[in-house]
Structure 1
Amino acid sequence: MSLPAHCDALLACKTASGKSFETLAKEVGKPEVWLAALFFGNAVADEETAAKIAKAIGCSDEAAVNAMAGRGPGNVGVAGGITRGRGWEWPPRDPTLYRFAEAVMVYGDAWKALIHEKFGDGIMSAITFRSELTRVPDPSGDRVKITLDGKFLKYSDTDDW
């Protein structure tokens, strides 16, 4: 996956800082998964948060900080210029990303059926979305626990038009 130049700059500064996403998230008071998405160009920070992150990782690249805050060439407004999910080949070749695709292929129909059963005809939004990833110790080998927390959006009926 090719990343925008500002992402490469941010990731290089993060690496040089020696800080993990978890540490940075705690420092700036933001969720860890959201912060990681920001570094890959899939989220936009407000100006105050962008400045805090830049300071925390020692990033003096003005273009990278501006892009993080949705400013700069190609950016119109706060979220302008951000293309979430860009650059993925399908199916993904990266083993970790492929396993996510595999989970959706195997469990997607079941998740959809359960959403419809429990909530009605609609979808889980990825717009007002939260996610967490934790390591869970297990005697048979540590487990990866990922929480996907999206608002339920009911499909409109023709009566609603």
Structure 2
Amino acid sequence: MNKEQVVEAIILAKHARQLSWQNIADELEMGCVWVTSACLGMNSMPENVADKLCQLLELPAGSQAALTAYPTKQWQRDVPQDPLVYRLYEVVGVYGDTLKEVIQEQFGDGIMSAIDFSMDVAKQTDPKGDRVVITMNGKFLPYKAW
């Protein structure tokens, strides 16, 4: 099986068992955002985690190998059409340069790692309308001079 086939099998099994991503992450004893990303093919799973997922969702033979394979992290270069994904794209478009300026002012010339990284999504109840809280935590990597 390839990653795309495994992703489809995971989605079908998740829906058939009426599980949430959080349910799956709890069973795997891993973070919800990371588990979801790995299940959607954007991260490779350690062998023991892939084995637990395969058992939990009764995935087809060959799934574990695809889940542990290193992914090619690529996405569509077109502007996303899904409204939620588009809004995240818009946030980076509007605030990307601002974040770069603030980060470099506080840390120096460098980037935030997307490898040594974690992310969490939380719901904040608000009488004016619930809020989405996205926390990104990445190691600062300074540019080297040589």
- TM-score, structure 1 as length reference: 0.85
Aligned 1:99-118 pairs, distance under 5 A: 99-118=87-106
CA RMSD of aligned residues (A): 1.3
- Residue of structure 1 equivalent to 2:72: 83
- Structure 1 runs (4+) deviating above 2 angstroms are none
Given candidates 100, 120, 127, the residue that maps to 2:115 is 127
- Residue of structure 2 equivalent to 1:51: 51
**2: CA distance between counterparts of 1:34 and 1:45?**
10
Gaps of 5+ in 2: none
How many angstroms does 1:63 deviate by?
2.2
Higher relative contact order (CA 8 A, sep 6+): 2
- TM-score, structure 2 as length reference: 0.93
- Residue of structure 2 equivalent to 1:7: 7
**2: CA distance between counterparts of 1:123 and 1:13?**
38
- Residue of structure 1 equivalent to 2:131: 143
Deviations 1:31-64 (A, max 9, x none): 10000001110011111100111222232x1222
**1: CA distance between counterparts of 2:77 and 2:106?**
33
**1: CA distance between counterparts of 2:20 and 2:141?**
34
The amino acid across from 1:83 in the alignment is T
* 2:33 alignment partner, SS class: helix
Deviations 1:103-128 (A, max 9, x none): 00111111101100110010001011
**1: CA distance between counterparts of 2:129 and 2:136?**
22
How many angstroms does 1:90 deviate by?
1.8
- Residue of structure 2 equivalent to 1:98: 86
Gaps of 5+ in 1: 71-78
Deviations 1:62-105 (A, max 9, x none): 222220121xxxxxxxx2xx11133x242111111100110001
**2: CA distance between counterparts of 1:135 and 1:63?**
36
Count of aligned pairs between the two proteins: 144
